[in-house]
Amino acid sequence: MYDRRDFLKKTLLTGTGVVGAGLFMQSCNCKGVLSSKEMLPRGSVVLFQGDSITDGNRSRDDDWNHVLGHGYAQMIAARLWFDYPEMDYSFFNRGISGNTIEDLNNRWVEDAIALKPTILSILIGINDVYGIVKGYLKQTLYEFEQQYRQLIILTKKELSQTTIVLCEPFILPGGRVDEKSDIWQKETRARAGVISNLAKEFNLIFLPLQKSFSDACNAAPAKHWIWDGIHPMPGGHELIAREWLKVVSNNLR
């Protein structure tokens, strides 16, 4: 039977693979798709927070076909649940489409603190940029930083043992981003810088994603990874999932 994974491995070993293919051939083993290093502590309770990219059209009920959405959060949970069933992991998705950093602050106690996660992953900022591009959000970079800082301080106060992961917002050319692309790039980079600095200041895990998406365009056009400049295609969600597992597991070892 034709095995695509074996084909890709052989292609890379013979040097005939497409440029950038190595980005998507991270450690695999015969048990599943993860290496023994890409795992979390036993009993981890993982909460994914953010906007539509995290939301993934999730259901708001107990239907496990849809409750984690159809994006990177579900992909991460599926891998870890499959490869490490004995580790007693729990996963929650509380991303809400359209949310900004202010929206997260307004619902943080109920949708984050109350769930008592041991690992909290946050991907936010692109709707803040969208509002600025469209002109309906009058938010300064300082205000964005202060709102994000407030969220972190509250979390560290109430959940002092929780590992916090700050994910970098990202864009690629295409769709909505092609309109006023200079503003998109400037504002996205600025907020990514704020998030990176906050991660350093509070000693949190920072997950860089912009470079990974930009590098992926060496293997396929931007629209292969992000269909409208903002929202990932399935391959884009796979990219986030692999980078998340690599970075987070490495920082927790």
pLDDT at 147 over 90: yes
> How would residue 7 be classed by pLDDT, with cut points 50, 70 and 90?
very low
Measured between alpha carbons, how far is 71 from 4 in angstroms, rounded to an integer?
Answer: 22
Catalytic residues: 52, 228, 231
Are the beta carbons of 171 and 123 closer than 8 angstroms? no
∠ at Cα 154 (152, 160), nearest 5°?
A: 85
> What's the gap between Cα 196 and its chain centre?
14
Are the beta carbons of 46 and 117 closer than 8 angstroms? yes
Note the pLDDT of residue 33: 55
Residue pLDDT, tens place only, 197-219: 999 999 999 999 999 999 999 99
Q: Which domains does the chain have, with CATH numbers?
A: 4-252 (3.40.50.1110)
Long-range contacts of 64-70 (CB under 8 A, 24+ apart): 67/93, 68/93, 69/93, 69/95
pTM for the full model? 0.86
Lowest pLDDT segment from 27-36, 61-70, 178-187: 27-36
- Helix, coil or strand: residue 204: coil
